[in-house]
Amino acid sequence: MRILGLDFGSKTVGVAVSDELLLTAQGLEIIRRQSPNKLRRSLARIEEIIAEYGVERIVLGYPKNMNNTEGERCEKTKEFQEMLERRTGLTVVLWDERLTTVAADRLMKETGIRREDRKEYVDEIAAVFILQGYLDFLGRKE
């Protein structure tokens, strides 16, 4: 079994996948969207990844505000969650993604990735942090 991790944004969707033992998350790609309201291609690509990797569950980053309130991005994320569940038939777990983008940016800075290049990878790395947080939670639960 594998789990897919997604960082859903207005222009991109960062994608990560777990190993089969559910121990580690690896970044896969960033799906670029042509328009904030057009998701058909993004959903089709996610379905391809699910089939290719044998994914059985999806973890979707949930962008709560730092004060734990839910804003407009949370509503869009819930709509995307419903679309994913309808199209894939899989369970889509919402996972608190606060500070994952900050952590991804810090990691890239520490590893020497130039500022101009960081935007290219930040969503994929954020998806890794989202999925790894969920995998660590599952490991502690058992």
> Model confidence over 117-141: pLDDT tens digits?
656 666 788 899 899 989 988 887 6
Q: How far apart are CA 27 and CA 114, in angstroms?
A: 19
pLDDT at position 10 is 82
- Report the predicted TM-score, pTM, of the whole model to 2 decimal places: 0.85
pLDDT at position 108 is 61
Give the residues of the chain that fall short of pLDDT 50.
Answer: none
Q: Please give the class, per CATH, of domain 2-141.
A: alpha beta
pLDDT at position 113 is 66
pLDDT at position 100 is 66
pLDDT at position 97 is 82
